[in-house]
Amino acid sequence: MPDLRTTPLHDRHAALGASFTDFGGWSMPVRYTSDLAEHHAVRQAAGLFDISHMAEFTVRGVGAGAVLDHLLAGRISTMRVGKAKYSLLLDENGGVIDDVIVYRRGEDDFLVISNAGNRALVAAEFDRLVGDIEIADISDDHALIAVQGPRAREIVEATAGIDDVTPSLADLGYYAWSGGTFRGDDLFIARTGYTGEDGFELLVANALAPALWDALLASGEPLGLVPAGLAARDTLRLEAGMPLHGHELSTDILPAQAGLGRVVAMDKDDFVGKDALAAASDDLPVLVGLTAEGRRAGRAGYAVLDAEGAPVGEITSGALSPTLGHTIALAFVAPASAAVGTDLLIDVRGTRIPATVTALPFYRRNA
């Protein structure tokens, strides 16, 4: 894949026998052994993911919180130092350019992590709107490694070379971060993830990424940790009802349609897209979960029909759930067909499969 970018861990993946795919212009491991085995490992013990393709921006300077209040749909300026917040970058029409996570590292110091495929778009919005605030795209200098699963904390705590973690991981809440070191260099540890499990995302300088990967594997393999690829990551996030940009999120989709109205602070004086959201129709298609029996899953683009066979929507993501043992899907459907318990049909290559609107998420971990 000569035209694709590679992460600092590419050689590690190749040595482990990974199969690769093009993801947002990056050559990324889609699996190492078995999609199912990697998925189940995350649910039962832990998985190790390379997510270094993600984009990272620092936002610094007096008034940085207010600038992010204007740029993003959420209220960022009131975040406490040490916390994280999921938010949305909208265009003037209220559509979703990208979904991001914002970390407050200091009074006027924020870290924003965005999706790899949208890095240039996010950078352009920063350039257009930030004024005198100092923005730095640090993506090319750092790697991001995720440890996800019920044994994630135990694994990270036992990893050789990780020191000086403050606050301790035992005291770290969800959607918060700790500072620390790995082999004496800065390490940023966030208690966030994209699998529906407990877990951590570790940001480290590129030069130390292979050593950190090796150390995490050495610590975790006796506890059931396995390297996991994009295929498992996708079924895990789908079970957790988490949207994927390009499927459940796009500039053609408003936050409320995707069930994300709660992350939009409409009481802010102003932010990009606010006027369009305020004027939006209440009759737009909305995102729902669908469950069906059997093993034939609805895939992105498949039609959703009402009980009489009339089209009411379209699948955006679907799979046979490894954890639940039946098919699940996310779909945008007409509001009249969106109530939990509504019986619908999925057109799977000409066969109409009965499905039921189901509350999200499909899977919720034990606290």
CA-based radius of gyration for the chain: 21
Q: What is the CATH number of the domain that holds 215?
A: 3.30.1360.120
| Residue 141 CB burial class (10 angstroms; 0-12, 13-18, ≥19) | exposed
Q: H helices of 264-332, where?
A: 274-278
- 109-114 sheet: strands from edge to edge: 84-90, 96-106, 109-114, 55-60, 134-137
- Pair (150, 19) in one structural domain: yes
Which tokens in the block code for residue 176?
């918060």
Give the pLDDT of residue 228: 98
- Pair (294, 365) in one structural domain: yes
- Pair (166, 228) in one structural domain: yes
Give the pLDDT of residue 160: 98
- Pair (198, 303) in one structural domain: no
Q: Is 118 helix (H, G, I), strand (E, B) or coil?
A: helix
Beta-carbon contacts of residue 41 (< 8 Å; ≥ 6 apart): 47, 149, 224, 225, 226, 228
Question: Can you give the pLDDT of all 367 residues of the chain as single tens digits?
Answer: 458 999 999 999 999 999 999 998 999 999 999 999 999 999 999 999 999 999 999 999 999 999 999 999 999 999 999 999 999 999 999 999 999 999 999 999 999 999 999 999 999 998 887 778 999 999 999 999 999 999 999 999 999 999 999 999 999 999 999 999 999 999 999 999 999 999 999 999 999 999 999 999 999 999 999 999 999 999 999 999 999 999 999 999 999 999 999 999 999 999 999 999 999 999 999 999 999 988 889 999 999 999 999 999 999 999 999 999 999 999 999 999 999 999 999 999 999 999 999 999 999 998 6
Tell me the DSSP string of 178-219: EEEEETTEEEEEE---SSSS-EEEEEEEGGGHHHHHHHHHHH
- Pair (148, 37) in one structural domain: yes
pTM: 0.96
- Peptide bond preceding 167: is omega within 30 degrees of 0, i.e. cis? yes
Q: What is the CATH number of the domain that holds 366?
A: 2.40.30.110
Phi, psi dihedral angles at 142 (to 5 degrees): -135, 155
Q: H helices of 74-208, where?
A: 119-129, 152-157
Q: Is 103 inside any structural domain?
A: no
Contact in structure between 116 and 100 (CB atoms under 8 Å):
no
Between CA 274 and CA 362 the distance in angstroms is 31
Structural domain of 14: 10-54+140-239
Last residue of a domain, one of 189, 211, 239: 239
Give the pLDDT of residue 2: 57
Domain count of the fold of the chain: 2
Which residue reads 């995490």 in tokens? Answer: 216
Last residue of a domain, one of 215, 239, 263: 239
| Residue 313 CB burial class (10 angstroms; 0-12, 13-18, ≥19) | buried
Q: Render pLDDT for 172-211 as a digit per residue (tens, 0 to 9).
A: 999 999 999 999 999 999 999 999 999 999 999 999 999 9
How many helices (H) and strands (E) in the chain? 8, 20
